[in-house]
Structure 1
Amino acid sequence: MYVCSCFGVTEKQVKEHAEAGASTPRQIASACKAGTDCGSCVRRIQAILGRGNCPRRELLDQGMPALAAEDAVVELPEAA
């Protein structure tokens, strides 16, 4: 099955690159150009790499909203 229609990259090829050490969509793109043209395949590549889920969403689903919120908090400096 084709993952990237622009460059004719198959799911098998993406998995082979992942087995060879590519662990991000950018590394897959460096190996075979998948995801570098229209970008419509990047989410599929993320899913193949196991990066399709949001860690914060998983925490919320497990009933740990405090931990998920802790990751999302950004402290801004106080105005002088």
Structure 2
Amino acid sequence: MNRVYVCSCFGVTEQQVKQHVENGACTPRQVASACKAGTDCGSCVRRIQALLGRGAVPRREPAVQKGPVLAAALDEAA
């Protein structure tokens, strides 16, 4: 069996993380509570997020501004 390590600090494999997810872990913190992965150097946290299905971080879109917001707020306060 070929082991793919997710966390080198604690020797946690991808299969172990997947097992914790199957057992109910939904966040990197819950995975860390179960096996310590992600609690030392932190380099594996992104991989854990990907295994949890959170690999894609949503992009922030610029807010649509329809005029001077600060001026409108000052007018309302007056």
Alignment of 1:51-62 (within 5 A): 51-55=54-58, 57=59
Percent identity over the alignment? Answer: 75
| Residue 11 (structure 1) aligns with | 14
Aligned with 1:22 (options 17, 20, 25): 25
TM-score calculated relative to the size of structure 2: 0.72
Classify the secondary structure of the residue corresponding to 2:34. helix
Return closer, same or farther for 1:69/1:14 CA change in 2, 3 Å cut-off.
Answer: farther
| Residue 49 (structure 1) aligns with | 52
Q: Which amino acid aligns with 1:38?
A: C
Please state which structure has a larger fraction of its residues in helix.
Answer: 1
Q: In terms of Rg, which structure is larger?
A: 2
Q: Distance in 2 between matches of 1:53 and 1:21?
A: 21
Gaps of 5+ in 2: 65-72
TM-score calculated relative to the size of structure 1: 0.70
Q: Distance in 2 between matches of 1:44 and 1:54?
A: 13
**Alignment: residue pair count:** 64
| Residue 70 (structure 2) aligns with | none
The CA deviation at 1:54 is 1.7
Classify the secondary structure of the residue corresponding to 1:50. coil
| Residue 40 (structure 2) aligns with | 37
The CA deviation at 1:69 is 4.3
The runs of at least 4 aligned residues of structure 1 exceeding 3 Å deviation read: none
